[in-house]
Amino acid sequence: MPPLIIAIAELFGTALWFTPNAVLHDLQVLWSLRTADLGWLTGAVQGGFLLGTLTIGLQGLADRLDASRLFAACCLLGALSNALLPWAGGLWGAVTLRVITGMCLAGIYPVGMKLMVGWTPGRTGLGLALLVGMLVLGTALPHGLRAFSELPGAGMSWRIGILGASGLALLAGILVWRLGEAPDVQAAKSHASATATSRLIGIQAFHIKDFRRAASAYFGHMWELYTLWALLPLMLLTALPDLSTMPLALGAFGLIAIGGPACWLGGWLSQSLSSRRVAQLGLAGSATCCALYPLLTWLPTPLLIAFLALWSALAVVDSPQFSALSAAACPTTIVGSALTLQNAIGFAVSMLSLLVLIPLWQWLGSWLAWLLLPGPLFGLWCLSVRRRLSTASPADTSQ
């Protein structure tokens, strides 16, 4: 039951991340924004998240403080900053609020992973797969909302939608506050040394060889993942250039949302194959798709869409397993800070990939997939047999 509560709270809490995507047009009309201004609204929460994860990771807040209380406080503050968005008064007020919301999300997503690790001893890969699967469904949600808004008679006040997301975040904070941290984690904290409670403890994880390897593989994975998600609607539109808004949005929603069940399948497989094996399979599969996609654009449309769905699933099936391997390599007293710092760096890698690669689509088209390929290949090298991890998550010891 605690893992399910954390996963549901993670989905509710991260709803704050995506709500503006469904109301950008309304904000544009309300504040007379230019199209170029909308990038500030979507980018502000990303920058806030990066700033927040660096702060939490470097200061060791997820381990020095009660993680459940930190999660709940971030849900409360994030819900407030999100709810104030309709009354921001203009672009820069909204950008400020979105930066604050992004910083709060840094205390929800990575800290939620820390809580899940504590509540799933022996089943870390499975627990994190449940959590990340929920996050993937949340990532797909804006496309689903866009499609829903196009249905006749389905319109609703965009203010109600934003306030509803804030309400979900408040509920997430209440759920985790009542749950608290796992008893074993609380016991470890009470016996922690002075070093374990110091600042910059997240950096200490990089002195651990197995953590470096798992984290580095995750960074390669992040070079591909978010850029692929951003490209999927463009790939779909290339295959079906006559698609209208609603079927395009539904198609993009489906292609991204398939990653949720893929994460859950990967978590189940990790119990028998190990997290490292699942991560390797995911990286190898997505690398193969990167290499093949430019050569398969001639396929009949149904087969090409099925290929894109397979690629999307393979690109994310390994995501929770990197965190499982990283958590297993660290002492309990620094897991939260280590995962948060790993998340911060990985997110910075994804932002760099998005900024560098997405503009190239108009010139390279499908061949852009080959520029995603170095990410999963690097991840595979980090997890290669000759460099195999000496430590796996408790349920992942079958190497």
- How long a stretch of residues is the chain? 399
Contacts of 324 (CB under 8 A, 6+ apart): 117, 124, 125, 128, 270, 275, 393, 396
Question: Is the CB of residue 160 less than 8 Å from the CB of residue 39?
Answer: no
All structural domains of the chain, each given as residue ranges with its CATH number in brackets, are: 2-387 (1.20.1250.20)
For residue 152, the model assigns a pLDDT of 62
Amino acid letter, 309: A
Instruction: List CB contacts of 302: < 8 A, sequence separation 6 or more.
Output: none
What pLDDT, on a 0 to 100 scale, did the predictor assign at position 398? Answer: 33
Helices first, then strands: H and E counts in the chain = 22, 0
Dihedral over Cα of 292, 293, 299, 303: its sign: positive
Which residue has better confidence, 41 or 277? 277
**Residue bearing the bigger pLDDT, 269 or 45:** 269
Cα 321 to Cα 97, 123, 144, 196, 318, distances in angstroms: 33, 11, 27, 25, 5
Asked if the model's pLDDT at residue 353 lies above 80, the reply is yes
Model confidence band, residue 195 (pLDDT cutoffs 50, 70, 90): very low
Residues 145-187 have pLDDT tens digits of: 556 655 665 455 667 778 888 888 999 999 999 888 877 776 6
Identify the band that residue 126 occupies on the pLDDT scale cut at 50, 70 and 90.
confident
Structure confidence at residue 69 (pLDDT):
93
The per-residue pLDDT for 121 is: 81
Burial (CB count <10 Å: 0-12, 13-18, 19+), residue 151? exposed
- Chain segment 240-264, per-residue pLDDT in tens: 888 776 787 778 778 888 988 999 9
279's CB contacts (< 8 A; 6+ apart) are 217, 318, 321, 322, 325, 379, 383
Residue 229 CA to residue 227 CA, distance in Å, equals: 5
